[in-house]
Every structure is written in C-alpha cells, then in structure tokens.
Amino acid sequence: MSGLRVSRIFIQPVKSLRGHEVAAAEVDELGLVGDRRFVIADAEGRFLTQRTLPRMATIAARVADGTLRLTAPDMPELTVPLRGEPDLPKLTGPLRGEPGAATLRRVTIWKSEGLLAEDCGSDAARWLGAALGRPCSLLRAGPDFVRPIPLHRVPEPLKAAAPRVACNDAFPFMVVGEASLADLNDRLAAEGLPAVPMERFRPSFAVAGGEPFAEDTWASFQVGGLTLYAAGRCARCIVTCLDPWSGDRGVEPLRLLSAYRRDSQDPTQVMFGQNAIHAYAGPGRRIAVGDPVDPQRA
C-alpha cells in the first residue's frame, strides 16, 4: 500500500458558495452526493461565481436532514429541499410540467449551454437577491439536468461510460495533496506571507502522505472501493485569492504559484490539484476520512 490516506472531505452544495467539511460522503453517478447540485443564475440563465461576485463567499451552504440550508450575515436561514417532487415522472416537454412539478429553467455553465435545471422558487430568489445585492435564482440539478463531460476530456477507460457532471466547473472530483499545500505554505512563509488554507482550492478531498505534487503523476487511484481516473491538473483562477469566508481579495497564492506551477503546454495556466472522474459502479460506495488511497502512476 502507498501509505496515502484521505485526510479531509468537502461538500460544496451550491456552486461558488461556501461549503462544509464532512467525515464521510456517499458517491453517486455525479460524484459526492450533495456536492454542487445547485447553481445560482442571473436573469439570462448564466451561472454566477465568486470570480465576478466575491460576495458569494459570505453565504454558507450546508446539506442537513434532506435539505439545503443557506446562511448569510444578518439574514434568516433559508431551507430548500434537496430534490423536487419525488414521485413525478421525468419532465421532457415544456419548461413547466405537471401541477406540483418544479419549473425548469435553462442555465449555462461555462460551455455547457441550455442545461435544464429546476427553479427553487421565488422565496429562494428573493433571499439570494437580498444576500448578493442583485437579481438571481437558485437552480437545482434534477433528473432533467444532463451534462455530459466532453469526450476529449474523458480518460480512455471511461469513454464508453459517457460520464456526466453536475454544476462543477468540469469534473466530478478534484484532489489536492496535503504535501502540495504544505510546500506552497513553506514558500509563502519564506517570503514572510501567511499560510493559505485548503479551503482556498475547494477540493473534493485532500490526501495526506507522499511528496508534494505527487497527485500530478497519478493515472488512476483507488479509494473507498472506487476507481478514479486522472483527468488533468486543475487550472487555478482568481478564486484562490479570495478569503473563503469573507470574500476579500488579495494576490496570493496565485502570484506565487505562477512562479513555479505554470503549465508547460500552456504557460497562461497555473496548475494546482488533480481533476478526476470516477468509474461509477452503482450505489453503496462512499469515501471517508482515513480511507487508504492507492495510486497507479502514469
């Protein structure tokens, strides 16, 4: 065995809102259950992120007791069901289905256009509008939300499975080694700068043990009874420079990372962490803190 273990697991229920840490998480076809199953969209159906709206970091999202719970400074808690009406058939026609069914709205997430997501209603829209200071809606990835990962980005062993993703940027999983973060923080300390927390990078889970950036070399790895295939290193953006609790913006760690973590094929990209896609083998799988991680290197 490699001696590597899962050290931390994070669920980000709403894309670009603050998530929460868990001791274990179930895994379904889209990744960690409850992770990035909601997205906030503007009036034109474009997704919103901290890249352009840092204030989103001040809203905490948590999954508890079958609901999504949102909290923000000086706001009452908002509670939203994790799923729409459970016994209604899949909606395939007009954007408004049978009585009692969720209204579907089209949403764009990066290059994925026209995705059908369930509108979580006017109460959620008003709450978020007040918290963020702009009109917006909360949308849920229900059964009509189908977002295939582009085949050219899928590792060869998974191409026939046509894997899908929820409201993530691109992939179901992103993994960061604790040693990689320690290396970065050592470099920051050498310049007299404060350390940055793992939350800056919004990983699915962190891995303890091994050498810095060992995750760059993995072709696949086993964890929690699952096989995950590397889908390429993660290109980092300005969100890493936002305080994950206040949304205040600085220049670190992106400035420092750009000095030694640029992609050799595309120097405009600064890389930190490894994207991954899992081979889904049916329900009952889970990832827990302490699980061994067994990588197969490229």
Chain mean position to CA 240:
13
Spell out the residues 6+ positions from residue 245 whose beta carbon is closer than 8 angstroms to its own: 18, 57, 58
Beta bridge partners of 68: 63, 80
| N-to-C CA span, the chain | 17
Tokens 């960690």 label which residue?
32
- Dihedral through CA 36, CA 68, CA 52, CA 10, nearest 10? -50
pLDDT string in tens for the chain (298-residue length): 679 999 999 999 999 999 999 999 999 999 999 999 999 999 999 999 999 999 999 999 999 888 999 999 999 999 999 886 443 333 333 334 444 567 999 999 999 999 999 999 999 999 999 999 999 999 999 999 999 999 999 999 999 999 999 999 999 999 999 999 999 999 999 999 999 999 999 999 999 999 999 999 999 999 999 999 999 999 999 999 999 999 999 999 999 999 999 999 999 999 999 999 999 988 889 999 999 999 998 7
Beta bridge partners of 21: 10
pTM, 2 dp:
0.93
Give me the phi and psi of 255, to 5 degrees please. -60, -50
Specify whether the CB–CB gap between 112 and 164 falls below 8 A. Answer: no
Residue type, 243: D
Nearest CA-CA partner of 140 in 65, 217, 40, 233: 40
